[in-house]
Amino acid sequence: MTTAPAIELKGISKSFGPVQANKDISICVMPGTIHGIIGENGAGKSTLMSILYGFYKADAGEIFIAGQKTTIPDSQAAIAAGIGMVFQHFKLVENFTVLENIVLGAEDSGLLRPSLARARRELKALADEYELNVDPDAVVQDIGVGMQQRVEILKALYRRADILILDEPTGVLTPAEADHLFRILENLKREGKTIILITHKLREIMDATDTVSVMRRGEMTATVKTADTSPAELAELMVGRKVLLQVEKAPAQVGATILDVQNLNVTDNKGVHRVKDVSFNVKAGEILGIAGVSGNGQSELLEVLGGYEKATGQILMNGTPIDLTGAKSDGRSRRARGIAHVPEDRQREGLIMDYQAWENVAFGYHHDPAFQSGMFMNHAAIKADTVEKMARFDVRPPDPRLAAKSFSGGNQQKIVLAREIERNPDLLLIGQPTRGVDIGAIEFIHQQIVALRDQGKAILLVSVELEEILALSDRIAVMFDGRMMGERMPQDTDEKELGMMMAGMTKEDAA
Partner 1 sequence: MDAMPKWADVVLIPLISLILAAILSALVILAIGESPVEALNLMIEGALGSTYGWGYTLYYATNFIFTGLAVSVAFHARMFNIGGEGQAMLGGLGVALICLYIPWPHWSLALFGAAIAAALFGAAWAAIPAFLQAKRGSHIVITTIMFNFIAAALLNYLLIGALKPTGSMEPATGKFPEATHLPSFQDMFSFGETALFRGAPANVSFFVAIIACFAVWALIWKTKLGYEIRSFGHSETAAKYAGISPTKIIMVSMLISGGLAGMMAINNVQGEAERLVLNAVEGAGFIGIAVALMGRSHPFGVFLAAILFGFLYQGGAELALWTKIPREMIVVIQALVILFTGALDDMVRAPLERMFLAMRRKGDA
Residue range at the interface with partner 1 (CB under 8 A); choices 159-167, 205-213, 305-313, 503-511: 305-313
CB half-sphere exposure, 1, CA atoms < 13 A: 2
353 binds partner 1 (CB under 8 A): yes
Based on CB atoms, which residue is closest to partner 1, 39 or 306?
Answer: 306
Residues 420 and 341: their CA atoms lie apart, in Å, by: 6
Tell me which of 341, 383, 389, 488 binds partner 1, using CB under 8 A: 341
Based on CB atoms, which residue is closest to partner 1, 28 or 403?
Answer: 403
410 binds partner 1 (CB under 8 A): no
Residue 351 CB, shortest distance to partner 1, in Å, is 7
Based on CB atoms, which residue is closest to partner 1, 239 or 342?
Answer: 342
Dihedrals phi, psi of 67, to nearest 5 degrees: 85, -15
363 binds partner 1 (CB under 8 A): yes
190 binds partner 1 (CB under 8 A): no
Beta strands in 284-350 (DSSP E): 287-291, 312-317, 320-321, 339-342
Determine contact, residues 25/224, Cβ cutoff 8 Å.
no
Can you state the percent helix, strand and coil of the chain, rounding each to 5? 35, 25, 35
Residue 377 CB, shortest distance to partner 1, in Å, is 6
* Per-residue contact flags (x/-) with partner 1 for residues 311 to 330, judged by CB under 8 A: -------------------x
85 binds partner 1 (CB under 8 A): no
42 binds partner 1 (CB under 8 A): no
Long-range contacts of 185-192 (CB under 8 A, 24+ apart): 185/34, 186/34, 187/129, 187/130, 187/131, 188/130, 188/164, 189/32, 189/33, 189/34, 191/129, 191/130, 192/31, 192/32, 192/162
Residue 427 CB, shortest distance to partner 1, in Å, is 16
Strand order in the sheet with 339-342: 339-342, 427-431, 458-462, 287-291, 475-480, 483-488
356 binds partner 1 (CB under 8 A): no
Tell me which of 183, 190, 225, 332 binds partner 1, using CB under 8 A: 332
Tell me which of 5, 364, 433, 482 binds partner 1, using CB under 8 A: 364
Q: Which of residues 204-243 bind partner 1 (CB under 8 A)?
A: none
Beta strands in 135-218 (DSSP E): 163-167, 194-199, 211-216
Tell me which of 354, 454, 467, 509 binds partner 1, using CB under 8 A: 354
Residues 33 and 192: their CA atoms lie apart, in Å, by: 8
> Considering only CA atoms, which of 244, 224, 208 is closest in space to residue 446?
244
Dihedrals phi, psi of 139, to nearest 5 degrees: -85, 135
351 binds partner 1 (CB under 8 A): yes
Tell me which of 285, 289, 307, 409 binds partner 1, using CB under 8 A: 307
335 binds partner 1 (CB under 8 A): yes
Residues 266 and 251: their CA atoms lie apart, in Å, by: 34
Residue range at the interface with partner 1 (CB under 8 A); choices 235-243, 244-252, 278-286, 361-369: 361-369
Based on CB atoms, which residue is closest to partner 1, 279 or 406?
Answer: 406
Residue 356 CB, shortest distance to partner 1, in Å, is 11
Per CB under 8 A, residues contacting partner 1 are: 17-18, 306-308, 330-335, 341, 343, 345, 348-355, 359, 362-364, 366-367, 372, 375-377, 403, 406
